[in-house]
Amino acid sequence: MAAEFPTWEAWVTAMQVGSALFISGTAAEGPVPCRIGGTGEVKNLPATGPQDYLHAGDWLTSFYLATICRENERLNQLAQVLISSLRESGAEFDEYIYAWVETLQNAWFRRREAWDTLVTAVNGTAPESAQVAGKELMLKILYPPLELFHRYQRQDAEKFNAALVDALTDLRNSRTLSGECDYTPPGSVDPDRRSRQVLWNKLVEAAKALPRNGPSHRHAAVTARRNPLINLFDRYQR
């Protein structure tokens, strides 16, 4: 499989390793069996407790990867990671990120509190609230996923598509992507620069091709299946 789908295999392996670290890090006792690798090999990992790498940024990366790979069991396990354990890593983040993690966890378990924690997270991205991330990084890189999540939950196709174009354009033009900044935002996966720039260009063009007045669908999954951006991802992975 790796020879045929190297990109997809790399993403799956990253997803497996990321979720395995959090599962073993929050386990009461070990060994913790975790499936890692394309052959389905099971690794028995020790229960580590809080570690400096088990922070909110890596949790977001692991959760995003599990979402992309449609690994519901791993998503369920990640959604049970306590916010307090992420804080114990000692990593320094703006406070909004913990409300954002909690929002995704609440949404996964269909809790009504997801809207309250989303409001808290959005308010925490205001320039006067941010203490760690710079203004440009916060507004152009860290905030857009929260807006997209809001539009997705509201099933507002027109505003979601417009926000997607803006987010991808900002991401493509970001100093972080161009290599002028060494900071990697939490929840990001960093391929080589050339492949990254080609992909962002394609994503922006695909997003611009989305209808500005999309039809109203009763379920977000229907929109996703008809979304040319999803088809682009499928072609890129293959």
- Residues 189-234 pLDDT 10s: 554 444 444 444 544 455 455 544 443 333 333 333 333 333 333 3
Token reading at 219: 């379920």
Q: Alpha-carbon distance 220 to 230, whole Å?
A: 13
Residue type, 56: A
- Torsion sign, CA atoms 173, 175, 176, 177: positive
Q: Tokens 């069996």, residue?
A: 33
What per-residue confidence (pLDDT) applies to 228?
A: 37
Distance linking the first and last C-alpha atoms of the chain? 11
pLDDT of residue 195: 43
Question: What pLDDT was estimated at residue 62?
Answer: 93
Joined tokens for residue 152: 């997705």
pLDDT confidence of residue 111: 94
Residue 95, phi then psi, degrees to nearest 5: -60, -25
Specify the pLDDT at position 189. Answer: 52
Q: What is the pLDDT of residue 134?
A: 83
CA separation for the pair 226, 238 (Å, rounded): 19
Element (H, E) at 32: strand 32-35
**What's the CA angle centered on 16, arms 150 and 199, to 5 degrees?**
55
Locate the domains of the chain by residue range: 1-91, 133-238
Query: Is residue 35 within a helix (H) or strand (E), and if so which, with residue range?
Result: strand 32-35
pTM of the model: 0.72
State both tokens at 51.
């570690």
Query: Nearest to residue 123, comparing CAs of 105, 90, 150, 156?
Result: 150
What's residue 233's pLDDT?
A: 36
Give the number of other CB atoms < 10 A from CB of residue 220.
Answer: 15
Residues of the chain with pLDDT under 70: 1-4, 175-238
